[in-house]
Amino acid sequence: MSKTNQSWGGRFTQSTDEFVKIFGASVFFDKILAPYDIQGSIAHATMLCEAGLLTEDEKTQIVDGLTNILEEITVDKFEWSVDLEDVHMNIEARLVAMIGDAGKKLHTGRSRNDQVATDIRLYLREQLNDINDEIKRLQIALLDLAEKEINTILPGFTHLQAAQPVSFGHHMMAYFEMLSRDAERLIDCRKRLNSMPLGSAALAGTTYPIERTRTAELLGFERICNNSLDGVSDRDFAIEFLSTASIIMMHLSRFSEELILWSSAQFDFIELPDSFCTGSSIMPQKKNPDVPELVRGKTGRVYGNLTSMLTIMKSQPLAYNKDNQEDKEPLFDTVDTLKACLRVFADMVPTIQTKRDNMYNSTKKGYTTATDLADYLVKKGLPFRDAHEVVGLSVAYGIKMQKDLSELSLEALQEFDPRIENDVFDVLSLEGSLRARDHFGGTAPNQVKQAIKTARNNLK
């Protein structure tokens, strides 16, 4: 009978079931690794030649052949075969067809196990760079918006109840800080990812006199994996990335939720442009914030990919197992989803139009300067707990009279504590409340301005 696969079929006497062949193939999705597979193979061939395991002519044939194959793939002229299972064997078979026996020598000193582990790291290393670029682009958009809205006042919330006045610019800078931590996590993830498994072979290393440090140098790896068993079976770097991606998506989802709320008729704090919204098929008045809603929804998808990868790895004995074929789709999907969400946010944030009057008027509701009045009394010598009670009584009176604290007369306020004087109205104004929080990390406009300046310098 015909062999199932020329790379491993010698031991078999029966061909693979046709459905099993399709069920077990990964070429449908792992062909995305082709450029990285070729990059790794060129470095491997170069090392084999330097180690005396290939002649210079054989190396040249291999490198030229792989370069031509990459061109075929790039222009979509490469014929992928499910019979060859995966990207690695498709490329190797094409190379042998192009250059003959020299192509058969390329696999000397390696296995598909360490080959795919290397390809995934090369792929993800490049993607991390692209993702960090998108994060930076979004951060710049946030800085620009924050700078424009330093003096814009909106209610800050706790428990989704109006709490204290804050600068809209300060609010935007909170998301800048989240993204800064995200970028740091990606950089940290990249450090552990940048170890080369190639040379681990199937699981135990190889008997050939390879020089792993040379291959690592050619591929730009900072170090080589210390243990061959761990080298082929480790997917911690992918799990770490998926975890980091989940945190990034959580931040984008929180931002999405606020944009959705703020753009609703009930809040009416911002206007999103038509280009980032859609309408309703039956309600002509509707303008739906589809982009933030989609990002919020896609967050669950990325969380699911993290759970999937953790589950794939949780019960695997050393070393490589076929389960690991399932590591790629969650990884590829997360990379694509995360990049798309960051890109659309970086495009959308500069288009956000604030409705400053609506924000200001909303901040005047809910007694958002009540804490300022308590602080005022403390500075007049009243213990904070007593001041808290006085202000609580003042707020209760304001609710009864349907007036904000700043709208109560001095005489009415003095009924609750005689320490209150005419200067209290500077404290009770929204602008005064913002200015009063004039310390590092506070919402005072000059502090926000300095925070933006520092952030721009740090991004450089």
The catalytic residue positions are 159, 280
List the Cα angle 64/65/71 in 5-degree steps: 90
**Residue 445 near residue 150 (C-beta atoms within 8 A):** yes
The structure tokens listed for 300 are 């669950």
300 vs 341: CA distance, rounded Å: 13
Bridge partners, 224 (sequence order): 196
Kind plus residue range of the DSSP H or E element containing 330: helix 328-348
Kind plus residue range of the DSSP H or E element containing 158: strand 153-158
Burial bucket for residue 23 (CB in 10 Å: 0-12, 13-18, 19+): exposed
**Residue 167 near residue 434 (C-beta atoms within 8 A):** yes
Q: Dihedrals φ, ψ of 227, to 5°? A: -130, 125
Q: Dihedrals φ, ψ of 195, to 5°? A: -115, 140
Please state the three-class secondary structure of 238-303 as a single string: HHHHHHHHHHHHHHHHHHHHHHHHHCCCCCCCEECCHHHCECCCCCCCCCECHHHHHHHHHHHHHH
The amino acid present at 285, given as its one-letter code, is Q
Burial bucket for residue 314 (CB in 10 Å: 0-12, 13-18, 19+): exposed
**Residue 337 near residue 295 (C-beta atoms within 8 A):** no
The structure tokens listed for 352 are 């956000």
**Look-up: residue for tokens 């953790």?**
310
List of residues 6+ apart from 454 with CB closer than 8 A: none
List of residues 6+ apart from 455 with CB closer than 8 A: 139, 143, 173, 176, 180
Q: Which residues of 397-420 are buried (b: 16+ CB within 10 A; e: fewer)?
A: bbeeeeebbbebeeebbeebbebb
The amino acid present at 173, given as its one-letter code, is M
Sign of the Cα torsion 312, 316, 319, 320 reads: negative
